[in-house]
Amino acid sequence: MNPKERPDGSTVAEVLRVVGLPGETVAFSDGRVIINGQAIEPPQRLQNIKFHGNLPDAESAEPPYTIPDGHYYLLGDNPDEAKDSRILGAYPIADIRGRVSSR
């Protein structure tokens, strides 16, 4: 993901969660993320987040969506505001800059 420049000249990158791997199929049902027909269990702190796949500004990622080779399906933790794979489609591996972990 390309970093965004702030007014002060610094840059910030979006942090999105990888939920789908190349070749997997992604869909949504009742606010849950479905990978290859199975609902994924989010981490405890994200249990109340509801994801919806039919967004008005979605370009090419209408569910069910099969993730192309060399790409990953990414979701933001703020689903009402995130510009993630539901809108932009799968991200090429070259656009993923690193890994964030909580300690």
Q: What is the pLDDT of residue 56?
A: 46
Answer whether residue 65 is part of any domain: yes
Taking only the tens place, the pLDDT of each residue in 57-67 is: 545 556 688 99
Q: What is the pLDDT of residue 7?
A: 74
Q: What is the pLDDT of residue 22?
A: 97
Give the domain range for residue 15. Answer: 4-88
Q: What is the pLDDT of residue 73?
A: 92
Cα separation of 40 and 26, whole Å? Answer: 10
Computed over every residue of the chain, the mean pLDDT equals 78
pTM of the model: 0.74
Write the burial class of residue 85 (CB in 10 Å: 0-12 exposed, 13-18 middle, 19+ buried).
buried
Answer whether residue 68 is part of any domain: yes
Answer whether residue 38 is part of any domain: yes
Answer whether residue 16 is part of any domain: yes
Q: Which residues of the chain have pLDDT under 50?
A: 1, 56, 58
Q: What is the pLDDT of residue 100?
A: 75
Q: What is the pLDDT of residue 79?
A: 75
Answer whether residue 100 is part of any domain: no
**Total domains present in the chain:** 1
The CATH number assigned to the domain holding 25 equals 2.10.109.10
Q: What is the pLDDT of residue 36?
A: 95
Answer whether residue 95 is part of any domain: no
